[in-house]
Copies of this chain bind each other. A is one copy, B any other.
């Protein structure tokens, strides 16, 4: 899309991590959350979350649709959009507005308003924690009387790997 896409291997926090374990952990967390809140963690929804976790990068709705179709589910856009909507609504995944894409939550369990760092070169995305009503937005909201219900904070730039590549 941009230029040199060479998708390196650790998009989560731009650093190595226990990728094998984090899938099981996240799925288990989602399962528990759904059981506790009377939500239906159906096969499509589970599969969608598994794909997000396995890929470990931002996935477009239509790319997800391909994956779901290949897995034997429906083949029309709403299939993907509905599964993703469920995952986002329950905090299992996030939408990256800048990319029109979705990514599994890197900090499952905790209620949080995430902040993302998006590499414009390799498209990797890192998720940082954020406080909903802090920083510039909290101040501005307080000053004007705006009631914040949700925030989206995204930074575009170069991840450590790509920055190093660019410098050389």
Q: Which residues of A contact B (CB under 8 A)?
A: 13-15, 97-98, 115, 117, 119-120, 126, 128-131, 134-137, 139-141, 144-160, 163
Residue contact A156 to B145, C-beta cutoff 8 Å: no
**Docked-complex contact A146 and B131, CB < 8 angstroms:** no
| Cβ-defined contact, B141 with A146, below 8 A | no
Q: Are A136 and B131 in contact (CB under 8 A)?
A: yes
Q: How far is the CA of A8 from the CA of B85 in the complex (A)?
A: 30
Besides A97-B154, A126-B140, A148-B157, 14 other A-B contacts (C-beta < 8 A): A14-B145, A117-B140, A117-B148, A129-B136, A135-B135, A135-B136, A141-B157, A144-B160, A146-B155, A148-B155, A149-B155, A149-B156, A150-B157, A152-B155
Whether the Cβ atoms of A128 and B137 lie closer than 8 Å is: yes
How many monomers of this chain does the complex have? Answer: 2
A124 to nearest B CB, angstroms? 10
Q: How far is the CA of A155 from the CA of B150 in the complex (A)?
A: 6
